[in-house]
Amino acid sequence: MTAATSPFAPFVPCLNPATVSGLPLPQFLALAAGAGFPTVEISIQQAQTHGTSPLRDLLTELGVSVAAASGILPAGPVLPAPLLADQNTYETCLNGLDDRLKAMAALGCTVATTVLNPRSPLTTVEARAVARQRITHLATAAATYGVRLTVEAVSTRTGLPPDLDGRHPVADTLPQLSELLDEAGADTAGVLVDSFHWAAAGSDPAHLAALGTRITHVQIADVPNRRPARELADRQRLFPGDGTLAWPSFADALVRAGYTGPVSVELFNPDLRALPAGEIARRSHHAATHCFALAEAPR
């Protein structure tokens, strides 16, 4: 069976904590394990607060591993800061960087995620120069601990928080991000592919296949029916399989790129987040293991 026809595809189900927002870390992990997820994403700030050693024991007890951690640049106790935070904020974010990377390594987590601002108050030339410098610095620091910096391009154009937005374009598609990584010469840096942002950028399978081994982590969510790509916003995310995203094409392109790792359900839809946490986890696991076999919906 190919990735497009197998209900499970060659991917590993994963759950992002944003999908069941507000749960303490131990409850989130127990919920994910109970729903059948073998892997999860976590906030490294939360992990450090819980304690690395007891968290490692809990993960072993639950049979769950950490596929990726946000917060290499932290913004408070849970949320991450974007790559192009203002200079003062960025310098503050660097405090404790080694400790966060040590915690990731101790938990067996080899992927540190960060989000690249699609637009910036800086000029395009200035913003891209800053992005290149920061990517190189963070990727080098992460590699020392066996962790790979993984950068996400944001392709949605509406509903972005102010710290991700600005007047001038930086990079908002996978080809533009790949070009930026080439310019940075950051060979150890990888790419986080998000299906929702891929759809917002036009759903081109070639954008995925061209990334090859740069794809280090994947997040998944579906897009609503008959919604133009330029109008997509994160609050509209649906469970994979409940919308019109071309899942067989998405899966086949990932396989052509050589990716067979975690696919993490990430939702920001307030209506779906209002469901009981157990239902969210169960539906997320079913979605992550069955969406790739669906026939492509009419667009």
- Burial group, residue 88, by CB count within 10 angstroms (0-12, 13-18, 19+): exposed
Tell me which residue of 289, 275, 240, 285 sits closest to 21, measured CA to CA.
275
State the pairing for strand pair 262-265/215-220. Answer: parallel
pLDDT tens string, the chain, 299 residues long: the values are 333 334 456 899 999 999 998 899 999 999 999 999 999 999 999 999 999 999 999 999 999 999 999 999 999 999 999 999 999 999 999 999 999 999 999 999 999 999 999 999 999 999 999 999 999 999 999 999 999 999 999 999 999 999 999 999 999 999 999 999 999 998 999 999 999 999 999 999 999 999 999 999 999 999 999 888 889 999 999 999 999 999 999 999 999 999 999 999 999 999 999 999 999 999 999 999 999 986 554 44
Q: Which 3 state secondary structure label does DSSP give 153?
A: strand
pLDDT, position 9: 67
Tell me which residue of 31, 107, 118 sits closest to 68, measured CA to CA.
107
Q: Which two tokens stand for residue 27?
A: 């409850």
Tell me which residue of 52, 99, 36, 72 sits closest to 278, measured CA to CA.
36
pLDDT, position 65: 98
Strand partners, 70: 43
- The structure's pTM equals 0.95
Tell me which residue of 265, 260, 259, 258 sits closest to 291, measured CA to CA.
265
pLDDT, position 6: 45
Type of residue found at 247: W
